[in-house]
Chain A
Amino acid sequence: MKFNIFTRRSSWALPYALFLGFFVALPLILIVIFAFTDNQGVFSLQNFVKFVTQPEAVNTFIYSIGIALVTTFLCILLGYPAAYILSNRNLNRSQTTVMLFILPMWINILVRTLATVALFDFAHIPLGEGALIFGMVYNFLPFMIYPIYNTLQKMDHSLIEAAEDLGAKPSTVFWKVTVPLSMPGITSGIMMVFMPTISTFAIAELLTMNNIKLFGTTIQENINNGMWNYGAALSLIMLVIIGITSLFSDSEEQSQNEGGII
């Protein structure tokens, strides 16, 4: 019998299954448990009541969603043309420019943020909301360009030629053919930008010299100050928001567009 366990290769996944149960499933269950208990471990809704009744927390929450939306929108606005140009053979032939856009993704996010702060200091730009949004766009723009570039590259170009042959104007071709076909790239770009912006903590602190607080910072402060239950409840709220976002993009079917960067 023992021999059988080793030869059945499906049982090779067993150690990892146990590992996942302990280090992935259990910790998430703990977030839920902590969120619905008070610090004595008794079931209670007080954490959520506290969130709803505290204007500061709710405001930070709404503000963070707003910042994340603006960042995501700006990333699409700046990133889509870039991805389009990069993937278009008539406009760009160099692989090097493509690489240059991907390169910042491989640099530690804190180093990049510090570099941005340095730039603002250097140009005597005050560190406030504008700096925050610019810094976020700067940090996450490559994550928008890359997936869009990928889908545009895999796109069937005969469709565009067909539209042109049938007499469509260039702008019509762009809006009716290219954009709809690149939707999977846009949605996975949105996921890759919106989710990290809404959940970052250190970046906002550094970019605004602690003047502007985002939701991630609120969560981190609570955890650091020993308010584990409240922090867990806030994390759960964030998870729900992210769950909703990913449901929205799942329906757009983005799976074919995933793939390693290496």
Chain B
Amino acid sequence: MKKFFAQTYLWLLLALLYAPIIIIAVFSFTEAKVLGNWTGFSTKLYTSLFSGGVRHSLLDAIENTFTIALIAAAVSTILGSIAAIGIHNMRGRKRQAITFLNNIPMLNPDIITGISLFLLFVSLGVTQGYMTVVLAHIAFCTPYVVLSVMPRLQQMNPNIYEAALDLGATPFQTLRKVIIPEIRPGMISGFILAFTLSIDDFAVTIFTIGNQGLETLSTFIYADARKGGLTPELRPLSTIIFVTVLLLLIIINVRARRAARKQENI
């Protein structure tokens, strides 16, 4: 009986949480401009989303979002991993100082990060655009990479590194053959985290994107919503995003559970 109430509560809450998404998904299969009008089943919005045409700066926005996220995540992963190795070998006050600085972008609200970087770029007289958005994204993504690589370094046996050097490997070879394989899982999850953070970001992007006409998905949706009417193609797009994320999470989860089961069997 108790379990029944508990499950009912959970599913009611879930229904509430998912109601908006489900409505969007349902109405992505009809042509009506205004959401809530059902004018019969149609996949027109899906085809017009990808066929470009009149106002599909939306596709450009998606492309920008992904390239920015890829560049930012790749640079953050490299910068953050090297930094983590450095920090791992630091002691005392220096280490405290850099860890403190590294925590700031994670604790700061996005709007503060955005405004502070905006003030930096205007003070330097830099024209804001692609470059500034990428730099800003690297700035708030790298701390997360450092944070996901650090535990890996702590788990690593320090003697392996010394052994490699004693056996005549150069420091660079040791990095490539010993350290990187050890920290790779941390680098990968850092990369994924950086990538999703960058794709999701709105507050930092809007302050650093400038007014040269560059749009990412977030700024596009924002500008579109402010104009009043929402581009109907956003419905199929949101649906696609949602389904993709859902599938990705399912895959990650199933793999994790399988790995856990394997470990149990051993």
A residues at B contact (CB < 8 Å): 6-17, 19-21, 23-28, 30-31, 34, 78, 81-82, 85-86, 88, 90-92, 95, 97, 99-104, 106-112, 114-119, 121-122, 138, 141-142, 195-196, 198-202, 205-206, 216, 219-220, 223, 228, 231-232, 235, 238-239, 242, 246, 260, 262
B88: chain A residues within 8 A (beta carbon): 9
Q: A-side binding surface: helix, strand, loop or mixed? A: helix
Bound form: Cα–Cα A231–B118 in Å: 11
Apart from A24-B139, A108-B199: 4 A-B pairs, beta carbons within 8 A: A9-B89, A10-B94, A95-B257, A111-B234
* CB atoms of B238 and A115 under 8 A apart: yes
Q: In the complex, which of the residues B9, B13, B98 contacts A20, with contact meaning CB atoms closer than 8 Å? A: B98
Q: What is the number of residues of chain B that contact chain A, defined by CB distance less than 8 Å?
A: 87
Interface residue from A8, A31, A121, A201 paired with B119 (Cβ < 8 Å): A31
Closest to A116 in B: B20
Contacts of A138 in B (CB 8 A): 16-17, 20
- Asked if A23 and B20 make an inter-chain contact with CB atoms under 8 angstroms apart, the answer reads no
| Residue from A6, A108, A118 in contact with B23 in the complex, judged by beta carbons closer than 8 Å | A118
Expressed in whole angstroms, the Cα–Cα distance for A248 and B201 within the complex equals: 27
A85 touching B10 in the complex, CB below 8 Å, given contacts A7-B171, A27-B120, A99-B253: yes
**Chain B residues, CB < 8 A from A119:** 19-20, 23
Given the known A-B contacts A107-B245, A196-B109, A260-B193, are A10 and B148 also in contact in the complex, defined by CB atoms under 8 Å?
no
> Across the interface, do B171 and A6 meet the contact criterion of CB distance under 8 Å?
yes
Q: Please tell me if the beta carbons of B3 and A30 are within 8 angstroms of each other in the complex.
A: no
Ranked 3 nearest A-B pairs via Cβ: A13-B86, A16-B83, A27-B116
On chain B, the residues within 8 Å of A106 by CB distance are 196, 200, 245, 249
Q: How far is the CA of A242 from the CA of B111 in the complex (A)?
A: 12
Bound: A88/B148 CA distance, A: 29
A110 contacts B120, C-beta separation under 8 Å: no
Q: Which B72-101 residues have C-beta < 8 A from chain A?
A: 79-80, 82-83, 85-91, 94, 98, 101
Mark B residues whose CB is within 8 Å of A: 2-3, 6-7, 9-10, 13-14, 16-21, 23-24, 27, 35-36, 79-80, 82-83, 85-91, 94, 98, 101-102, 104-105, 107-113, 115-120, 122-123, 135-136, 138-139, 142, 146, 148, 171, 189, 192-193, 196, 199-200, 202-203, 206-207, 217-218, 221-222, 225-226, 230, 234, 238, 241-242, 245-246, 249-250, 252-253, 257
Of B14, B17, B230, the most chain A CB neighbours within 10 A belong to B17
